Structure 1
Amino acid sequence: MLKRKNSLVLLLLIVYLFVFTGCNSKDQEVDAAKSDGSKNPQVFKLISFLPTDNTLTKDIVPMWIEKVEKETNGAVKIEWTGGPESIPSKDQFDAVRNGIADIGFNVSSYYGHLMPESLSMHLSPYTPEEERENGYFEYLSKRFDKNGLVYMGRWLSPSPFHFWSNKEIKSLDDLKDTKFRSNPTYHDIMQALGMTPIDINPTDVYTSLERGMVDGFGFPLLGPNENGWTEVTKYFIDEPFLNQNATILMNPKAFKSLSSDNQQKMLELTAAFESEMITYFNELNEKERKEIEAAGVKIIKLNQEESKEFQALVKKVKWESLEKSTPDQIKELKKLLYKE
């Protein structure tokens, strides 16, 4: 009788240990799955104002995505769902703000009418790293937050604008009475120089140049050669103007859905990305200069006096524009950005 009782106790003990250790093992597996985000990552949709195969986006956006996924140990996954073919560029600011997309690689040229102080990025004489140190990044973060977005940082710098021409430009006076393809970013600068800015869709620039409908166009260094415009363009005026205004913006609900640790990682990795991005574009710009010369485009430089006059005009025109569009912010902006 005692033997049977002991056997029963032993059997119950074995069953108990089996069940307990089995459950514990399953619990450990669940905990491990929770800690390893790559098994159940948070997926965010990213859109860009340029197509995915554009020179300015095709490498730099994946560079940021790779950095995010690596630094968060796979807990965050980014899906680049497309460019303006998926959501028109002009609608992307609101698309991110409203949660249709989670992240946007955009430029303030497309949303400056909704947030005019964002156009002040054109006037920043600082690198992204310096902007984080001098308070301008914090200023923009607060302003974007007020407009329902999280400002992560910049992504297209340095890529200032230039004038490309089919007329040889020896002085600023030579620009008077010319007709150039333009966009709202530098309409007012062209007008101040006595030029006639003309809105032309990028897909029609080649034909407009070929047929002499315009004498030139405004654009960064990167892009025209790949688009074939250098086939019908003679001169590149090597006088860069305006800082870029490209931003990485995130929907606040999407950002808050991240753990506090991954929120901090996203901000820190974007700051690190900015430095890598500058190196990337500097190398790309240097290579592009050689390629446009090889394509037959002659590079023109203004003399020191003309250059100084031009840069002063650009600064004057853009500050006057900001004073009109965002008078309540102008004092703080000048304190942050105005540099003699």
Structure 2
Amino acid sequence: MKTSTLTKLAAGLSLAGLSFTAAADAVTLNLVSFTPKTAAVSAGFEKFVAAVNEEFEGRLHLNWRGGPEVMPPFRLADAVRNNSLDMALLSPSYYSGLVPSSTTSNLSFKNYEEILESGYYDRMTEIHADRGLNYLGEIPASDVQFFLFFKDRIDGLDDLKGKRIRVFPTGLPFIEALGANGLVLPIGEIYTAMERGAIDGFMQGNLGWAEQYEDVVNYYLTPSFYRAGFSVLVSDRALGRLSEELREELTDYVRYTLGPELDRSWDEVIAAGNAEVEAAGFEEIALDNEEAERYLQTAIDAAWEYMAGQIGNDELTAELRAMLVD
């Protein structure tokens, strides 16, 4: 028995040594997200990091350093392009100044697999490369859509005219097309702006924040609109540390295996967000069929008309819209 135990111990140490060597040989890439690790939306980022680390164990390791406390979100894309950060997980709208067409990924009602089949992600890889960025793919969340939240009651689209509504950059054309005044503000400033009356409402996904806004929000408008998806950008220097084989495997895995799985993984997070909204006592204001149809059509048409001006290429705009909408 003693010999057997020692043999097992020696074998265990040997395997541990091999494991340590493999881990030491793995390429470690540091990444930062545009949201804190504790944010509800970061659940998708956590799954992404864990899945990649498991799939490529011993060859590649992603070290998620954190979110805005590590680097301001609007600096992430530049940091990747300048090789001061290996990888970033961020909202497309946060680097639309570098890649104007990046935000088109939100302007759709299709799911990830439908968009993947259209060739959209391959096209975005080419577009990003033209701007000095490496686009690995998307952490999709097609069922994470957006709503308008208000303190005072809104009974229809006419009531939106003149309202001051916080938006993220992608949503600005839609809000302005509704006759409201859009203000681009970081998420962290929404509460104070609502509390002080600087804004009447805000555009936001419905994930894990409602409890914090109970005293400044009473209503939300439906139907929801757009889709969520988060870009994965990698620096030249980081890619240069990976073999060509590993790069190809990583891209294929992220796009064709992990992407669809992640897109189907949001049910619990969305359900928790809905439960929190209900617990906070927010009242749904549902537009009637005619107004709802006009609302959603305005969301698409206004956004894509704006994108045409930002992209500055009617042919490219039409190509991307066909992949995402038509």
| TM tier relative to shorter chain | 0.7 to 0.9
Unpaired runs of at least 5, structure 2: 1-13
Q: Report the 3-state secondary structure (helix = DSSP H, G, I; strand = E; otherwise coil) of the residue aligned with 2:265.
A: helix
Q: Report the 3-state secondary structure (helix = DSSP H, G, I; strand = E; otherwise coil) of the residue aligned with 1:44.
A: strand
**1:197-276 equivalences in 2 (<5 Å):** 197-225=182-210, 228-271=212-255, 272-276=257-261
Which residue of structure 2 aligns with residue 337 of structure 1? 324
Q: TM-score, normalised by structure 2?
A: 0.86
Which residue of structure 2 aligns with residue 286 of structure 1? 271
Which residue of structure 1 aligns with residue 100 of structure 2? 116
Q: In 1, distance between residues paired with 2:76 and 2:238?
A: 16
Q: In 1, distance between residues paired with 2:288 and 2:24?
A: 60
Which residue of structure 1 aligns with residue 50 of structure 2? 66
Question: Is the 1:256–1:263 Cα contact (8 Å) retained in structure 2?
Answer: no
- CA shift digits 1:163-198 (9 cap, x unpaired): 001222221112112222223222222221111223
Shift of 1:46: 0.3
Which residue of structure 2 aligns with residue 106 of structure 1? 90
**Is 1:314 paired with 2:299?**
yes
Which residue of structure 1 aligns with residue 10 of structure 2? none
- Which amino acid in structure 1 is aligned with residue 68 of structure 2? P
Unpaired runs of at least 5, structure 1: 1-28
Shift of 1:102: 1.0
Decide which moves more: 178-187 or 32-41: 32-41
- Which amino acid in structure 2 is aligned with residue 222 of structure 1? L
Q: In 2, distance between residues paired with 1:211 and 1:335?
A: 42
Q: Report the 3-state secondary structure (helix = DSSP H, G, I; strand = E; otherwise coil) of the residue aligned with 2:152.
A: coil
Which residue of structure 1 aligns with residue 165 of structure 2? 180
Which residue of structure 2 aligns with residue 135 of structure 1? 119
Which residue of structure 1 aligns with residue 34 of structure 2? 49
Q: In 2, distance between residues paired with 1:121 and 1:181?
A: 20
The structure that has the greater radius of gyration is 1
Matched-pair identity in %: 27
- Which amino acid in structure 2 is aligned with residue 84 of structure 1? P
Matched length:
307
Shift of 1:336: 2.4
Q: TM-score, normalised by structure 1?
A: 0.83
Which residue of structure 1 aligns with residue 65 of structure 2? 81
Shift of 1:43: 0.8
Question: Is the 2:86–2:235 Cα contact (8 Å) retained in structure 1?
Answer: yes
Q: In 2, distance between residues paired with 1:323 and 1:60?
A: 30
Decide which moves more: 237-246 or 112-121: 237-246
Q: Report the 3-state secondary structure (helix = DSSP H, G, I; strand = E; otherwise coil) of the residue aligned with 1:205.
A: helix
Q: In 1, distance between residues paired with 2:101 and 2:219?
A: 34
| Residue of structure 2 aligned with 1:154, choices 127, 132, 138 | 138
Q: Report the 3-state secondary structure (helix = DSSP H, G, I; strand = E; otherwise coil) of the residue aligned with 2:169.
A: coil
Shift of 1:90: 1.1
Shift of 1:81: 1.7
- Which amino acid in structure 2 is aligned with residue 212 of structure 1? G
